[in-house]
Every structure is written in C-alpha cells, then in structure tokens.
A and B are shown apart, each in its own frame.
Chain A
Amino acid sequence: MLVSLRWLRDYVDVELKPGELADRLTMAGLEVESVDEAGPEFTNVVVAKILSIKSHPGADKLSLCEVTTGDENYPVVCGAKNINVGDVVPLAQVGATIPGGYTIKSSIIRGEKSEGMLCSEDELGIGEDAAGIMILPGGLSLGEDLADALDLKDTVFDIGITPNRSDCLSVIGIAREVAAITGKKLKLPEIVFTEAEENTKDITSVDILNPNLCPRYTARIIKDVRVGPSPHWMRLRLEAVGLRAINNIVDITNFVMMEFGQPLHAFDFRFLEEGRIVVRGAQEGEEFVSLDGKERILKADTLMICDGVKPVAIGGIMGGMNSEVTDDTGTVLLESAYFNPTSIRKTSKWLGMSTDASFRFERGVDPEGVVRASNRTAQLIADLAGGKICRNCIDQYSRKIKPVENIPLRVKKVDEVLGVKVKAGEIKKILKSLGMVVNKTEDGSYLVTPPTFRVDISREIDLIEEIIRIHGYDGVPMSLPAVPERTDIKNREKTLEEKIRVILTGQGYSEVINYSFIMPESANILGLKEDDEGRKFVMIKNPLTEDQSVMRTSLVYGLLDTMRKNANAGCFDLRIFEKGKIFIAQKEGELPLEKEKIAGLITGIRYDDLWHWKELLSDFYDLKGCVENLFDGLMVRDVKFKSGTDVPLLHPGKSCGIFVDDKKIGFIGEVHPGVLEKMDLKRNAVVFELDFDFLAMHYTEEIFYREIPRFPISSRDVAFLVGKDMEGERILDLVVGESEELLEKAAIFDVYYGKGIPEGMKSTALRFTYRSSDRTLTDDEVDEAHNRIVERIAGLTGARIRGKED
C-alpha cells in the first residue's frame, strides 16, 4: 500500500527522516518495500506576479507581460487570455525544465524579447487545466520555488501489509502504528457538521434481506451537492497514493476510504427507483454493468445493493453505471457498510474483480467505524461540494458483530513464549499505545480488550505478538536449546540419495532437475499403450501452460527434453541423471501414488572430444556399466538384466528389465527410434529408470571382510560357438550352476561374429579361473575340472568349441 508522508503528517508528528521511519516500520512488522521521493517534474519554476500586460505589436494573439519575482522584473511573451495585472502565476525561468523534456530559453518572439514562460497546470504536470495560465492563490511569497510554495514535494512509502493487518490499510492505521512506535500522539480529524432539517429517514429506507452477508448498512442523503473538481490538497494526497482524481464526490469517498480504511459509495439518488435501498442476492443470470463499464452476469448468491427495482451496485465490490455520480448530480445517497469478509472474497474471486473496496472488506473493516466514516464523508461533502446533510443516518445493524472483550493475558506466559522478561508496566504501555483497554485482575494477570478495528486479535498469543512486535525482536536474547546426545539419526533415503550422487557423478553423470509437470501429449510421444500406468496422469486444473499441465509418470520424458534443449544449444554429448518423484493418479478424491525414481541418460560420444580417441559413440553397454556400478556401490546383489521386457519407449532389441530377486525394479535400453523422431532428436540415447524406494529398502552398508586367497589361480580360455541369439548370461548361468569346487570365476572376455564364423553363429569366449584355498593346483587337476565343465556346457547348449570344430 502506498502511503504519503505528507498525508501521514496530518495525523501524527513525524520527526524521523523518511529512511529512519521506514526502518522503524519494517522492524514493527510493516515492511517498507520502497521509499520514493515524489515531487513535480519541473525545476526552476518560481512564484511571480504580473505587473503589466500589453498587446504584442507583432502578433494579435500574443501579449507582452512584465512579471516580477520580487527582486527582478522580466519581459514574457504569453498567449493565454485568462491573466490580469496583479495575478500571481508560475514563471518558468530561463534554464527551467518542464514536463515533456522542455528547457526554457531566452528568446525573441516576433521581435519581442521573452525571458521565461508563464505556465498552465497542464504544462507543469500538476493538473489537467490546460486552458489558461495557472493562477496561484494569494499569500505565496514572490520568487519562491513553486514546488515548495505549493507543498508539492512528498515522500511515498510502499508498505507490504500482511493479510492479518486490515487495520493498516489506511493512512490513519499507519499513523496509529507510527504513534505507537515513536511514542507520539495520534491526531484524528475532528468531525463536525451541521445537519439540515430534512430527515434522511423521510426520504429513503434500507432493507437488508440477507443480514448474514451484510450485517450493517448505513445510508445518508446529502442534497444540493455541486459536483466539480476536488481541491488541490485532496488531489495531491489521492494521487500520491495512486488514486486518480475524478470529481469531488467520488474523490471524497476515496479519500475517506484511504483515511479510515472504510470503503464508501455515493449513489446519484435520482436514479434509485422508489428512492430506497434493498440489500439482497442477485437473480441467477441477472445482467449488471459495473462502474468500469463491463457487463457482468450475476449468480444467485452474489450480494447486490439494489433500489426498489434493480441492482445498483455489487455489494462491497463496485458500484454500477446506472447510478453513477455525474456532473449534474444534485442529491446523493451515501453508503457506508460492513460486509461479510468471506462472502466478499468469494464474490470477488468469482467475478475476477479485486477493488480497493473488496480488498478491505475481505480482510475485515472495523464494524464500529462504519458511521464515523459516513460522518466524515458527509462533513467533507458539505465543506467541499456545498451539500446539505439530511438529518439522521439510517443504520441497519441487525446482526451485531460481537466485539472481542477481556482477553486474559498472563505475564508469565509472555516470558514463556518469548524467553525474555518484559516488565508488566511495559506490557501495559504497549497495549495501551495500540488502543487496547487493559484491566488488571486480582491474580495479577490482565484482561485486555482490543479496539474493534483490530480484527486480528482475539487470543492471548495475539497479544503476546503485539507486545514483542512493539518491544522489538532485537530485545529478545538468543539461546540454544539443549541439543540431544543422539545426533546420528540419518535417514536411509537421505543416505541413499547422497550415495547415488557420489557414484553417478563419479562416472561422469551430472544431476539435472526437471519440472514435475509435463505435457499430456508425452504419453503418445513415448508410445504408451492405452492401459499403460504411465497414462494415469494427475491433471492440473489451472496449469500455466498446456506443456506443464500433467504430473510426470516417468522421469524419462524430462531427460529426453533436457537432451533436446542441450542439442538445440549445440551440445550433443550428455551424461545426466535425475532423482525425483513420479505421480500415478488414483481414484477421484484420493491423493496420487507418489514414487521416487532415479533415472539416467547417455548420448553422444563416450569420452569427451580428446586427442586420445576418435569419436566413440556411447551405447547400451556404457549405461549398463554405470548401472552395474551403481548396484555394486550400493551393495545390492543378484541383479539381473532380462531382455524381452516390453517398455514401449525403448528399442525392443536393445533394452531390458532390471530385476532383483525376480522383482522388476526398472529398465534400461536404447530409446526407440520412433520416440527420438517424435522428439526431433537426431542422436541415439540410452536411458535407465530405477525404483528409488526399492533401493532405499535394499541397499546395505555392511561389509564382511573375506580372507585374501593365498594360492595362485590357474585360468583356461574357451571360445564357444553358439547361435547368435544365445545370451552370454545364459552360458554364464550354466557355468555357475556347475558345482565345481575349484572353479572360482567365469567371465566373458570376447564376443565375435563375422568373418570366419558361420552365418547365424557367434563366438563367445570365456575365461575360467580355478583356485583352491589350500594348495597350488596342478595342471592336471585344473584340466580335469575344466574339461568337465566345458563338455557339460557344450552338451547343454549345443555349442561347439572353437578350434575343435573338426
């Protein structure tokens, strides 16, 4: 909210410099977000008096004036006709700048010298009157800078008012805080006016049909108003806080709203049919044109201010075009009311209209300040628009808002919450400075009654907050509670997360974080089947964009998107991983299933473009090695890579499921060329995704040391000629299945097909390692075991032994 220092000073003496005041307010919970020096957009414009006016010898429409600034006289050529000798006017002196970037120069106009320029309000940017020279009020000293003379300089604070402090949505509200912080006295405006004989109650009436939504409504008739521009002082204040001056009646209602925080509305009484006010719900589908000129279709529960026939305002939000105050308005009906905050908020949200009025009503205005604001407005209308205030204000207040009274406050509790002793005397002083009534009880505690405008205070804790807010947070010392001895409880998920990061970054993979929301089309791009779980999207009702309208069901799409973005930036080589949640929608009304996943992608060359290697493109086995290392590092054993897993986004021949103990915990594979094409990706990519939650359950940190073998190994190599489709692991499984005591390990060290190998076959070479824990093996022993194994495998698989084909 913008607050003008000039305006603030109407209600409290401010001795602090603007910067200091801003700091004090901020430290009391009214965060000053900016401090702006506001002033006119001109320089070197002074107060001058016209000494003589002669007609210009060379031009009919111009006149030749002599003006004085007190010390000196200047000839000025002027085109305006509204000036007379003796008028006090603004003189832009030679060298002055005025809005629009003009600089005044000494010049000869049609043969006559002109040392400056007489200005209109419009030319100075301080008013809209462009018709003639601005005639200044009497009593200004000649030669004085115009900005000082007219008090045009101001400081404007932009204060962030938290939603609980509706009482601070007014200049007086801020002034009250300033008074409390600085120990000054709050000066409220004196409200006095004379009432005419005519009685408001004889002219109009108010019926509230919906008192829950409108607990209080006051109306007053003011006759014979003269609609016109507001006085300068009022316009300055309104404009400083960002309100546009319209006419005196509207400006006064805005002024009082800003002054007291109570929104008001003035109706042109001529247009109120049957001359009365009815507060009621709208008819479903009823049309209404609000003051901003927009046509609104209303709902049945929208609270409307109506006359005897039709709606004339959306209650608490905006008036209507049909009863607007205009230049020829003579009698106004002045509304000052209290609306139900929740109802206003609902309506405002539903209509998409947030106004200064609705903003205040939905946060809660002072229910007991309604009449005072009406009085203040009436006073100003009488003073500034010459209105006659009819006797008696109609005040319909059937549902009394029960004020909060006598909140018990224990001094001991203050200490308990804050951890600092605040003296009873200071507590009392602070609460009183905020307008609270404080009574001591027999047991030494207090009963505190907050003012009705403090709608945020109803409990002891609310009072304690007020006490420390004004006492100052700086006044609370710092302490550290006793830290428990056991500080070693680290959760497994957190540990796993860290381990995974270490293992994967160690292998050259960098962590990425993608948005959790993706586009629904991604399911089609990834080729998911109709019944795929990945299509059970959690849909966002109000997404920022269609591209971010559903929650992801896999991390892969995000990784491919990252790949695409990098490719667009000219980077085709990536090793990345991501840890995050996926979301599977459940039944309506139920939270989705959230599963933590870890996924990775490799694309482009295997090693950075270095002198060692020519480009070697990464493939399935690069990523598989990474995943194997991951399991190894987490000490998760019995991991199986089984082909034939149907993951539609993967290349069917270059992908597999990842299993632990026969439970599928993820997949790995080359991305399906169709997916790459749809995503406009030119290079191959290999991806994996694993169930993080499973890993969290199954990783271990326990290590059991095994004796290092004391006797040497003997190894034997064999190349099996097998069918091309025979998976290496099948052979290894058979080998491991052999219960040969001496066999320590078997590993595939070469796979070859092509020249020299029959069509449809391949050579899979295994190295067998034999060892005994208690002796060095002899060649014969090894050969015996080895031959047994090789024959068995050949028998079981139909493999031929290479080199022994004949």
Chain B
Amino acid sequence: MREDLAELQRKAEAELNSAGSEEELLAIRTKYLGRKGLLTLLFRKIGNAAPDERPLLGRLSNEIKEALSVKIENALEKLAPQGKYGALLQEKIDVTLPGRGVRHGRIHPISQVSQEICEVFLRLGFSVAKGPEVELDYYNFEALNIPKDHPARDMQDTFYVEDNIVLRTHTSPVQIRIMEKQRPPVRIVSPGKVYRHDSDVSHTPMFHQIEGLWVDKGITFSDLKGVLTYFLQQVFGEDTVLRFRPSFFPFTEPSAEIDIQCIICGGTGCRVCGQSGWLEILGAGMVDPEVFKTVGYDPEEISGFAFGLGVERIAMLKYSISDIRLFYENDRRFLEQF
C-alpha cells in the first residue's frame, strides 16, 4: 500500500514535470486528485489495510495530496499570463465610462438660501412661522401702521383681489398674526412668497422674503445690531463689513437699512453695487409702539426688533446671478447648477 502511494506520487510528479499547458495541468489534477482520481481511489482503500497501519497511510496520502496540490498550483501560477489571470485580464472593462443610475436632483437655489438663513435663526432659538399669501389689507398694511391713502403705500405696488384683500406685499403681516395669538417672548422667522406689481431684470412679480421678529422685555437697538451682525457674518463670512444706516418703515422706529460691503469689488465700487461699494441687504428696526398697541402689547413693558430680507437678492449675490427672472424660468440647465 505504501509502495502504491509512492509509485503514484512519482508518476504524478513526472507527468507534472512534462506538462506544458494549463489544460494539461488541470487534467492531471483531475486524474489524481478529482473525486474519482487515482489518489482518491487509493485513499478509499486504506480502510482495507491493517488497523495499526491505517493512521500512517492516512497521513501519508494526505501529505501526497497536499504536495501535489501545491505543485499543480505553482505550475499553474507559472503559466499565469496565458492562464487564469490572463483570462481575467481579457475581461478588462473601460473604467472611464460613466456610472449607472439616476443622477440626483437639485434643490432650488431659493430654497437652499432660505434654508441656510432660517438655520442661523433656529440656532438662536427662533421658530418658523407661516401666514397666508392672500392677505387682508388690515394685516398687510393697517396693522403695520400703513393706513389707507398713506404715501408709504407707494413703497409697495400691490396686487388687489378685492378692495380689502391683497396678495401680501411682504412677510411682515405674519408678525401681526403671531403677536395677536401669542404673548411675549416671541422669536420667529417667517420665510415665504410675496407679491408686487413689478417686472423687469431686477424685479419679478413674485419673490421670497424672510421676516424675523424678536420681542421680549428689554430688547434694544443694540441687540438688533448684534443679532443681525451675527446673522450676516454667518451667511457672508466672519470678515463681512456692515453698515447700519437710518431708514423708514412705517412699522418700525428707529428703522435701519443694513448694507454689506460689496462682496464683488470689496468696497471700491463696481457695477453690482452701483459704484457705491455697498449692497443693501436687510431692512430692520425697533417695532413701532403703534404696532404693539394694535396687537395688545404694552409698549412701555415690551420692546423688540423686526427685520426682513429678500431671498433672491442674497441668492443673486451668492451665485453671481444677474437676472432675477432666471429663478422662475426653471430651465433645467439653470437648476442643475445648484
């Protein structure tokens, strides 16, 4: 039995040495090591040998199997370029072709900017409030200290639905609706669509504003400056230079326009900033006592500031878009850039 094994090993090795191709090697493997191979058959006969010889024969045949396997593998490896590896190389693909699958969609730039702005205020403890887009004249104007037949109404060209119903011209009516419902403190931001009777390169009849309101005991103009500076530096960068200058809104007093130093020219004057070096970015002010009285707050007890900004304006600056109408064309070539 031992001789049979040794003989088989010798013969197999001799065949291996003379084998020159992958096919021959694979045939030898099958001939000796396959399920019906010679070594396998011999191995099965071990059971017929004397019991004390069986462990030794078993070990020996395992050793031969192992040695042959390694030899065959090594020989196959040597033949690699023409062999299995070569075959894998034959399967080479063009990795530069584009990948498969649906391309992801884009979030509209106005939504992106609006989201970014709201996030800053959410971090400051503001919550998001909403109000109707078709609004009563009372909320859009009167309660905001803009009576009928007041020249301040010229500041906003209005779409009318009925004599006392308008498309809201700003997000400010949300201030009133919230204060009517809620006692101070109030900290809200209210993003949304607003409408004005206007259409050219820098005006669309619909655009987006974000209104903000912080009302509590002891809120000052100094707080207005602090909060809005923090906000603008969050959006435009820590180094953004700002200026606060007096302005007029019927529902705030004192009122301010807030400009940032032109981010295009750095303040030296260019086409975007109209040579002034500054970009108007935000309107704000201390809530007018009349407005507090309208909603039933005591202006001696409570103070606060409100602000409003145009989202398109900020998006246009951020992405260097010169025609506001592009936001509403919804051209795929435009949308896919954001």
Interface residues of A (CB under 8 A from B): 26-29, 31, 33-34, 162-165, 341-342, 345-346, 349, 362-363, 416-420, 459, 461-462, 464-465, 468-469, 473-474, 476-481, 483-484, 486-487, 489-491, 493-494, 498, 501, 504-517, 538-544, 548, 551, 562, 565-566, 569, 571, 574-577, 580-581, 583, 588-589, 591-592, 594, 607-608, 610-612
Contacts and interface: CB of A to CB of B under 8 A. Distances in A.
10 contacts: A29-B248, A34-B274, A162-B248, A462-B253, A474-B243, A508-B105, A510-B105, A510-B106, A565-B329, A589-B164
Contacts of A565: 329-331
Contact of A418 (B124, B187, B216, B222): B222
Nearest to A550: B161
A594 B327 contact: no
Contact of A165 (B122, B136, B165, B248): B248
Interface stretch (B28-36, B52-60, B225-233): B225-233
A592 B134 contact: yes
B123 A465 contact: no
Contacts of A504: 105
A163 B248 contact: yes
B193 interface: yes
Contacts of A478: 222, 225-226, 229
A455 B98 CA distance: 70
Given A165-B248, A483-B125, A576-B330, A542 B223 contact: no
Nearest to B255: A465
B328 A481 contact: no
A501 B111 contact: yes
Most chain B CB neighbours (cut-off 10 Å) among A28, A417, A483: A417
Contact of B286 (A27, A34, A417, A544): A417
Nearest to A574: B332
Given A417-B220, A418-B220, A574-B332, A342 B149 contact: yes
Interface stretch (B1-9, B78-86, B151-159): B151-159
Interface string B104-135: 11111011000100100011110110101111
B43 interface: no
A417 B128 contact: no
A493 B128 contact: yes
A565 B214 CA distance: 42
B331 A566 contact: yes
Given A481-B216, A515-B205, A543-B159, A510 B335 contact: yes
A486 B332 contact: no
Nearest to A579: B111
Contacts of A612: 100
Contacts of A33: 274
Identify the 5 closest CB pairs spanning chains A and B, nearest first.
Answer: A419-B222, A419-B220, A29-B246, A162-B248, A508-B102
Contacts of A543: 159
B122 A589 contact: no
Contact of A505 (B105, B329, B330): B105
A417 B330 contact: no
Most chain B CB neighbours (cut-off 10 Å) among A419, A484, A490: A419
A469 B127 contact: no
Contact of A481 (B161, B227, B246, B336): B227
Nearest to B280: A31
Nearest to A585: B161
Most chain A CB neighbours (cut-off 10 Å) among B161, B162, B289: B161
Contacts of B236: none
Contact of A417 (B243, B303, B331, B333): B303
Nearest to B167: A540
Contacts of B211: none
B183 interface: no
Given A345-B151, A481-B227, 16 more contacts: A163-B151, A418-B221, A418-B222, A465-B253, A494-B128, A501-B107, A509-B105, A510-B108, A512-B330, A541-B162, A544-B197, A571-B333, A576-B105, A589-B162, A594-B132, A608-B102
B205 A548 contact: yes
A303 to B, nearest CB: 14
B130 A493 contact: yes
B221 A512 contact: no
A607 B98 CA distance: 12
B197 A611 contact: no
A468 B254 contact: yes
A589 B199 CA distance: 28
B67 to A, nearest CB: 40
B115 A498 contact: yes
A663 to B, nearest CB: 23
A491 B149 CA distance: 38
A691 to B, nearest CB: 16
Contact of B149 (A346, A465, A517): A346
Contacts of A511: 105-108, 111, 335
A375 to B, nearest CB: 28
Interface in B138-161: 149-152, 154-155, 159-161
Contact of A513 (B127, B135, B216, B330): B330
B69 interface: no
Interface string B233-261: 00000000001111110100111110000
A538 B161 contact: yes
B97 interface: yes
B107 A505 contact: yes
Given A507-B102, A591-B135, A514 B328 contact: yes
A476 B104 CA distance: 48
Contacts of B333: 569, 571
Contacts of B100: 607, 610, 612
Contacts of A539: 161
A480 B122 contact: no
Nearest to B329: A565
Contact of A461 (B125, B154, B160, B253): B253
B133 A516 contact: yes
Contact of A542 (B97, B133, B197, B331): B197
Given A510-B332, A538-B161, A420 B133 contact: no
A112 B30 CA distance: 123
B212 to A, nearest CB: 13
A80 B185 CA distance: 81
Interface in B296-318: 303
Given A504-B105, A594-B132, A162 B247 contact: yes
B180 to A, nearest CB: 15
B159 A540 contact: yes
A592 B205 CA distance: 20
B206 interface: yes
A486 to B, nearest CB: 7
B107 A515 contact: no
A594 B216 contact: no
Contacts of B328: 513-515
B161 to A, nearest CB: 6
B92 interface: no
Contact of B127 (A489, A512, A588): A489
A462 B151 CA distance: 18
Most chain B CB neighbours (cut-off 10 Å) among A459, A478, A484: A478
B330 A469 contact: no
A512 B167 CA distance: 21
A186 B134 CA distance: 49
Contacts of B98: 610-611
Contact of A473 (B195, B223, B246, B288): B246
Given A513-B328, A516-B133, A459 B223 contact: no
Nearest to A354: B154
Contact of A31 (B136, B195, B245): B245
B245 A27 contact: yes
Nearest to A561: B330
A508 to B, nearest CB: 4
Most chain A CB neighbours (cut-off 10 Å) among B123, B124, B151, B335: B151
B181 interface: no
Contact of B155 (A31, A163, A508, A592): A163
Contacts of A544: 197, 199, 205
